[in-house]
Structure 1
Amino acid sequence: MSTERGPDIDPIRDARRVFEVLRTGGLAIIPVNVGYANCAGDSTALERAFTTKQRKPHKRHAMLGSYALHKEIHELPPREAGMAKLLIHDLDLPLGLVASFKKNHPMIQKLGDETLERSSIEGTLAMLVNGGQLQDELARLALEAGTPVMGSSANMTGQGTKCLVEDIETQILEAADIVIDYGRQKYNNPRTSSTMFDFKNMKLLRYGACYDVVRDALKRWYDVDLPEDPGKEVLFSGHAVAAMNKY
C-alpha cells in the first residue's frame, strides 16, 4: 500500500516559524499572494537582503501589514481613509498603501533612524496589505510584539516579482534563513506585485495585481480617474512614475 504525501500548508504555523527567525535577526522569503517577498525584522537583515538583490540605495523598504496595522500606523483624512477602507477592508484587495504615518508610534520608533530613513519618503510609509493568511498572521504577531516587519520582493533588482519559488534567483534563496514555499501565488496575471497608491498625494505609483478592480472602485465611488494599465510589454516594472518612484 502506498501513501501519498499532501501539501504541507499551514499559514498560522508558518507565520510563527517565520516570526521566530525574524526575531533573531534572520531573513525570510514568504508567499504574499502577489508573489514572493523578502522580509526582515532588523536593519542588518534588511541590508543583507538589499545587498543581495543589488537594490539601488534610493529604493525604500515597505512594511508588511494588515488593515489593523494600517489604522495603527497611518494617518489619513476622512475621505482618503474611506478609500483605503473600501479597497483593503470592504473589497479585500492586495494593495501597496502609501500614506503619512505616526512618527511617535512605538513601532515606528523601534525602526531606528537609519531604517526609518530607508523606509520613508517625505513623511510617507508604504505598507503591503492583504497578502494572504500567512502575512495577516505575521502582521498580527508583529503588532502584538510591537516589532515592525519590513521587506521587498524576493528577486534581483529589475527582474520582476516572482510568483514561484523556483523562479527566484539562487543568490536570493541562499541569503534567506527560511523559505516558505506555497507554490504559484494566485495574483500572478496580468502582473505580479501589488498595485501601489499614494493616498497622501493621490498618485498611482505602480500598476499591479487587481489594478482594474482598484481603478473601477475609485472611479465608481470616489470619482477618481486612473489611467489604463499600458501592459507589461510597454511598462515592465509597472511603475507609473518611474523617474520619481522610490518605493
Structure 2
Amino acid sequence: MSFNKLPSPKEDARAVFEVLKRGGIAIIPMSVGYGITAIDPDALDRIFCTKRREPHKRHAMVGSYFLHRDIHVLPPKEADMVKLLTVDLNLPLGIVAPYRLDHPILQKLPPKILAQSVVGDTLAMLVNGGALLEELSRLAALEKLPLMGSSANITGKGTKTVVEDIEPEILEVADIVIDYGRQKFHHPRASSTMIDFRKIEVLRFGACYDVVQDALRRFYGVKLPDDPRTSTLSSGQTCANRMNDF
C-alpha cells in the first residue's frame, strides 16, 4: 500500500507559489473541493479552454478576509455580514461585491482576464478555503500578484472532493497537484455558497448554506431562500448561476 505525503499547508503553499510565479498551473485542495489556479494570463487561458468554459463563466479570485477588505467595497452593514460569516463563524464563502479597479493587484490583470473575472462592477472572491489557500493568498498578496482560479473539473461536471475524481485532461494541464485526500465540505455538496452582497442575493447554494441562511436571519433579519435541492446540479450550481464553478 502506498501513502501520500502528509499535508503541510505552509510548505505546500510555497511550492505551489513558485510554480505559479513561473507561469504554471496548480491543482490544490480547498475545504469546498479541489480548485485549479494560476497567475499568468496564458495559464489562465489554458485553464479556461481545458475546462471547456462557456463565455459567461468567470474566474474567481482566490483570497482571504483581509484581501476581501482591501479589494471589495461594501457599505458597513454588508461588510459586517461578511465578517460575521467568514471571521466570527469561520465559514467558507464566495463573496461577490463591487471592487476597487485601482487596486494594484487588479491593475496587473490584462483587460481580457479582467473581463473574464468580473460581472458588471462585481468580482467574486473565495474566502476561507482552507489553510493552504490562506497561505497561498498571503504569498500572492505580498507580491501583489492576482491569484485566480475555479474548481478543478470540466465545466458542468461538478466540483471534485478527491483528486481521483478529477478528469484526466484537467490533471494533465496542471504543473503541480497537491493531494490532501477528501475535502472537509464534501457532504451534502461541495462548492462554496456564493452571495452577491450588493443586494444579498444567493448566486449559488453550496457548502454550509444552512448555517449562512440561519446566521443572516438570526443576526440581521435577512431572509434568504431555502435551498432548492431538487433543482440544483451536483456541483451546487443553479440554472441561473451567473458566476464560476467555485
Please report the TM-score for the alignment, with normalisation by the length of structure 1.
0.95
The one-letter code sitting in structure 2 at the alignment partner of 1:97 is I
Q: 1:46 is matched with which residue: 44, 47, 71?
A: 44
Superposition pairs of residues 30-109 of structure 1, within 5 angstroms: 30-109=28-107
Superposition pairs of residues 1-247 of structure 1, within 5 angstroms: 7-231=5-229, 233-236=230-233, 237-240=235-238, 242-243=239-240, 245-247=242-244
CA distance in 1, matches of 2:243, 2:64: 22
C-alpha RMSD over aligned residues: 1.3
CA distance in 2, matches of 1:37, 1:6: 19
Q: Is the 8 A contact 2:56 2:242 kept in 1?
A: no
CA distance in 2, matches of 1:28, 1:192: 19
The one-letter code sitting in structure 1 at the alignment partner of 2:211 is V
Encode CA deviations 1:74-102: one digit per residue, 9 max, x unaligned.
Answer: 00000000000000111100000000001
Residue 110 of structure 2 aligns to a residue in which SS?
Answer: helix
Residue 105 of structure 2 aligns to a residue in which SS?
Answer: helix
CA distance in 1, matches of 2:4, 2:123: 40
CA distance in 2, matches of 1:6, 1:74: 38
CA distance in 2, matches of 1:186, 1:104: 36
CA distance in 1, matches of 2:144, 2:15: 17
Structure 1 unpaired stretches of 5+: none
* 1:229 CA displacement: 1.2
Structure 2 unpaired stretches of 5+: none
Encode CA deviations 1:93-147: one digit per residue, 9 max, x unaligned.
Answer: 0000000001101001011211111100111000000000000000100110100
The one-letter code sitting in structure 2 at the alignment partner of 1:111 is L
Q: Is the 8 A contact 1:61 1:150 kept in 2?
A: yes
CA distance in 2, matches of 1:134, 1:164: 16
Residue 72 of structure 1 aligns to a residue in which SS?
Answer: helix
Encode CA deviations 1:205-235: one digit per residue, 9 max, x unaligned.
Answer: 000000000000000011111111122x431
Stretches of 4+ moved more than 3 A in 1? 4-7
Calculate percent identity across the aligned residue pairs.
Answer: 58
* 1:238 CA displacement: 2.8
Please report the TM-score for the alignment, with normalisation by the length of structure 2.
0.95
Mark the CA change 1:6 to 1:123 in structure 2 (over 3 Å): closer, same or farther.
closer
CA distance in 2, matches of 1:167, 1:100: 34
* 1:202 CA displacement: 1.7
Residue 75 of structure 1 aligns to a residue in which SS?
Answer: coil
* 1:175 CA displacement: 0.5
